[in-house]
Amino acid sequence: MEDVAKIVDWLADGTEDVISRELLSQKVEASQRSQVPLTVKLGVDPTAPDIHLGHTVVMEKLRQFQELGHRVVFLIGDMTGRVGDPTDRQAARTALTSTAIEAFSQTYVEQAGKILDTDRLILRYNSEWLGSLSFEAVLELLAKMTVARVLERDDFHQRFEQHVPIHLHELMYPLMQAYDSVALKADVELGGTDQRFNIMTARHIQEAFGQEPEVGMFLPILEGTDGVRRMGKSLGNYIGVNEDPTEMFGKVMSIPDSLIVRWSTLLLGWSAEELGQRLASGENPRNLKAELAKGLVTRFHGEVSGHQAEMRFDSTFRDREVPDDMPVLRWSLPWHGSALDLVARMPEMASRAEAKRLLQQGGISLNGDRLLLSDQVDISPGDWIKVGKRRYYRFGQA
């Protein structure tokens, strides 16, 4: 048998917490002895078309279990997605239609193949069991959890204290996700640190149904392109793994310098110590950011696309003698509007009259193309604008 301690160390590396490491060792050892693979679960609610970079931190750990030959389940939460995970929410999520959930689910399966071996991936939908539960079974499930325990989670507690409505279907979400683990007889569940309450609930419910509790493995949460909030589809600060290579490169180049080391280590496994030394020596952060952008495009689109995206970016900013250290304007993107509305929002713009004058004089260009007063424009992360003769700005996600 392989060294259990070394396997557990490898699996635990890079996690924020494992509950519990001792139980993981016992499960790995029992699996080796019986030659029955562990069932390892990752659930993703299809609430938007894209799997984003934040998801890949957890999916990389799932891939390690695949390499060890375990039974890896990629669970599409088509039923929980109708409720929406209330984690970190200050209000109820807007319910999605079944049509939207079905469409998003299909894109998730395709995108998962960029990280996981789909030939060894077990795809399940939680509507398979949640959709057929009788009311009697629902009551049995509800009886295994108290309202007091549900209200322990910070988001529910805050909303309760602030008299913000909490709908009954939201209270069901942790139980629905927990029942997924019961239905799958999960041995291990992966999630970000924000999933602690949901996974701990799953352990409790498994025991209530007479099962051994799963091991909870918690991975770091990736900050979004704004550098402040966690990357999230609903927050609009994410980069999807299927985004156009040029768009992906530009978005990465617009992130705050403070994210360079963390993104490089979590997403590409680069050495934080080495990157820190390069920054401490005075190297331009732009160089490291460009390496990160190219590395990510290469990872999700291939080496040729990585090289081409870098060339396009350089031709835009270097060949046109555009400064690569221009200030970043943090906007809620994508943005659409008139050229006048755009220019009027620029820093240090005295008035709409001044913005109109600059446009009429040909003093504004967007991505190197002169803007006319009559133009309608679309702004995405990585786009840049020249205002007058010397002021340059790049757009980044708020």
- What are the residue ranges spanned by the domains of the chain? 4-219, 245-317, 328-397
Q: Is the pLDDT of residue 208 over 90?
A: yes
What pLDDT does 90 receive?
43
Residues 6+ positions from 126 with CB-CB distance below 8 Å: 43, 75, 76, 77, 78, 79, 80, 176, 180, 183
For residue 1, pLDDT over 70 is answered with no
pLDDT tens digit sequence for 39-73:
999 998 876 677 899 999 999 999 999 999 999 99
Q: What angle do CA 325, 331, 334 make, to 5 degrees?
A: 110
Find out if CATH 3.30.460.20 is the number for domain 4-219: no
Question: What is the pLDDT, as a whole number, of residue 92?
Answer: 45
Distance (Å, whole) CA 395 – CA 398:
9
Q: Does 34 have pLDDT greater than 60?
A: yes
- Taking only the tens place, the pLDDT of each residue in 289-331 is 999 999 999 999 999 999 999 988 887 666 666 776 778 888 8
56-86 exposure pattern, b = at least 16 Cβ within 10 A, e = fewer: bbbbbbbbbbbebebbbbbbbbbbbbbbbbb
> What's the confidence (pLDDT) of residue 266?
92
pLDDT of residue 44: 85
Q: Are strands 376-379 and 335-338 parallel, antiparallel or unpaired?
A: antiparallel
pLDDT tens digits for 162-185?
777 777 777 888 899 999 999 999
Of all residues in the chain, what percent carry a pLDDT higher than 90?
Answer: 46
pTM: 0.73
**328 contacts 289 by C-beta, under 8 angstroms:** no
Reduced to 3 states, what is the DSSP secondary structure of residue 51? coil
pLDDT above 90 for 255: no
| CATH number corresponding to 328-397 | 3.10.290.10
Nearest to 83 by CA among 154, 163, 172: 172
Same fold, 4-219 and 328-397: no
Whether the Cβ atoms of residue 328 and residue 254 lie closer than 8 Å to each other: yes
Quick one: pLDDT at residue 170? 79
pLDDT tens for 4-31 read 999 999 999 989 999 999 999 999 999 9
Within 8 A by CB and 6+ apart from 156, the residues are 86, 150, 166, 170, 171
